[in-house]
Amino acid sequence: MIIVTTRQMQQMDKNTIETFGIPGRVLMENAGRGALEMLSDHFDLEGARVAVVAGRGNNGGDGFVIGRYLMEMGVSVSFFLLSTRERVQGDAKANMDLVQKLLAEHSLSQFIEIPDNDALEGAAEILQDHDLFVDAIFGTGLNSDIRGIYRDVIELINDSGKAVFSVDIPSGINADTGAVCGVAIQADATATFAFAKTGHILYPGNFHTGDLEVIDIGIPGHIAKAQPPDIFLPEPHDIANLIPTRDFNAHKGSSGHLLVLAGSPGKTGAAALCSNAAMRTGAGLVTLGVPEKLMPVMEPMVIEPMTAALAQTPSGGLDVAALDDIITLLENKAAVAIGPGMGTAPGTLELIKSIMAIASVPMIIDADGLNCIAKEPDILDTVKAPVILTPHPGEMARLTGKTIPDIQQNRMETARNFAEKYKVILVLKGAQTLVACPDGAVSICPTGNPGMACGGMGDVLTGMIAAFLAQNLPAESAALAGVYVHGLCGDILAEDHSFGFSASDMVAGIPHALNNI
């Protein structure tokens, strides 16, 4: 699914009206009529009393169109304008005037102005006495906190316990970030126009949106294409097209050989989870390089992956003295994964810097590998091959020098800026994991659930993405497929367990998720 920003949508509307010649009033009519169809499908309107709560802008105009059609259907409609009639202009005014004409013929309907707190106090009881609210207060342009009567009305609607249908986006949600602007409508369903907006998809906007349906309002295809989308919500068929297929005569050598560099005392599980996940995701061969003194511990934990003993630092992590052996191990490898449980000693940092400067195969860097890079981010400028970084918000904070709240407040901008600056694929983990690319494109992962909030999940993800890299998927495709299937594994497990499943359970479930795709 293609997702657009407020700016992109505004430009499409403008070009459709001014360049192509479809009047804005026609687009508003299409929007209102399409929204009415969704409204009728989702709610029982027989005998219902509907309140259309409208602002004075175009979102209110859409609400007037919906209300007009409802009246023609014989539904009792009350229009509550959060302004005065005199302040409504343009296409919204034209549709408000049509409503006024119809009111004379529909005795069950009424029009009430609420321009201030005194008017709201007088109308509050009437407003609450409805079965369904149509939220047409604000559209997608909102970017500041809601105050005054708007806030009071939204809180009144939310507290009513009645069904709510939002027009374009729940009022109070920032259409670009999904953030709540002080207060926001809690909708049961939302009809949006032409394309979904980022705020419908990102938390917490997604929880306020309810059921979402995209309404075609007649924007010509060539105008939509003139605003190249750069935000995507992958669907199952998108991922299915990425999953590698195998020839009838495939063998382990044709399915990719992955090198994993991981592990240190106390963190052997990270290395094992990563390597085992890579095998389950289809890598033909996996070699796990670990500090030499960990070999007796590691070998029983990884049955299918091969192991290689490498020089270690005094603290037990991989050391730069292992570089020559690693260069040898990199021969004939299709990809390399670096970092799970690796440690952050100075010798480990020097090793990572050296590998990044010389490796000619795609690499994915996670966990302690990211913590090492955070000490010298310009290391990324030395790489010769595609690089995927997979930070969680804490690691992202260390990479950027920001705080975790700063990262979480605008995850998409943070991920996109970093990917563009350092020319890497940036996988920002968490609820709705993001995959950001150097060209500015960002994909929002629709799979995954809170049950995955436990140790080791990131190590499994690293192994999965690395396996796709080893099977010759481009870095962007490998990251997207890995993130999606990883979340799907969690969703399948959550159907039976809710939470309490482990990273090892995830590894075992990878083939099932792949089969599902």
Range of lowest pLDDT (78-82, 436-440, 497-501): 497-501
Band (104; pLDDT cuts 50, 70, 90): confident
Calculate mean pLDDT across residues 110-125: 96
User: Would strands 434-436 and 425-428 be described as parallel, antiparallel, or unpaired?
Assistant: antiparallel
Q: Please write the tens of the pLDDT for every residue from 282-309.
A: 999 999 999 999 999 999 999 999 999 9
**Which pLDDT score is estimated for 314?**
96
Tell me how far apart the alpha carbons of residues 109 and 103 are, in angstroms, rounded to a whole number.
6
Of 117-126, 197-206, 389-398, 493-502, the range with the lowest mean pLDDT is 493-502
Query: What does the mean pLDDT of the chain come to?
Result: 96
Each residue's pLDDT tens digit, 169-182: 999 999 999 999 99
Q: Name the nearest CA neighbour of 69 among 104, 34, 97, 112.
A: 34
- DSSP string of 268-323? HHHHHHHHHHHHHTT-SEEEEEEEGGGHHHHGGG-SSSEEEEE-B-TTSSB-GGGH
- Residues 413-448 have pLDDT tens digits of 999 999 999 999 999 999 999 999 999 999 999 999
Task: Read off φ and ψ for residue 450, nearest 5 degrees.
Answer: -65, -20
CB atoms < 10 A from the CB of 74, how many? 12
pLDDT-above-70 percentage for the chain: 100
Q: Which residues contact 373 (CB under 8 A, 6 or more apart)?
A: 352, 365, 379, 380, 389, 399
| CATH superfamily entry for domain 2-229 | YjeF N-terminal domain (3.40.50.10260)
Terminal Cα distance for the chain, rounded: 17
Cβ burial of 213 (10 Å; 0-12, 13-18, 19+) is middle
Q: Is the pLDDT of residue 227 over 90?
A: no
pLDDT at position 113 is 98
The answer on pLDDT for 110 being more than 90 is yes
For 178-211, the pLDDT digits (tens) are 999 999 999 999 999 999 999 999 999 999 999 9
Which amino acid, one-letter code, is at 385? Answer: A
Q: Which CATH number fits domain 236-516: 3.40.50.1000, 3.40.1190.20, 3.40.50.1010, 1.10.10.10?
A: 3.40.1190.20
**SS3 for 139-168, per residue?**
CCCCCCCCCHHHHHHHHHHHHHCCEEEEEC
For residues 105-112, average pLDDT: 92
Q: What value does the mean pLDDT take over residues 495-515?
A: 94
What is the arithmetic mean of pLDDT over 41-53? 97
Q: Name which of 79, 183, 200, 182 is nearest 136 in CA terms.
A: 79
CATH 3.40.50.10260 residue ranges of the chain are 2-229
- The pLDDT of residue 143 is 87
Contacts of 307 (CB under 8 A, 6+ apart): 287, 288, 289, 290, 295, 298, 299
How do beta strands 442-444 and 434-436 pair? antiparallel
Average pLDDT over residues 256-266: 97
Helix (H) or strand (E) holding 442: strand 442-444
pLDDT at 479: 98
What is the pLDDT, as a whole number, of residue 188? 98
Alpha-carbon distance 95 to 24, whole Å?
12
pLDDT at 465 over 90: yes
Mean pLDDT, residues 67-82: 97
Model confidence at 498: pLDDT above 90:
no
497 band by pLDDT with thresholds 50, 70 and 90: confident
- The C-alpha atoms of residue 376 and residue 378 are separated, in whole angstroms, by 5
What value does the mean pLDDT take over residues 337-360?
95
Q: Reply yes or no: is the peptide bond before residue 204 cis, omega within 30 of 0.
A: yes
At which residue do the structure tokens 């209300």 appear? 67
Say if residues 287 and 308 touch (Cβ distance below 8 Å). Answer: yes
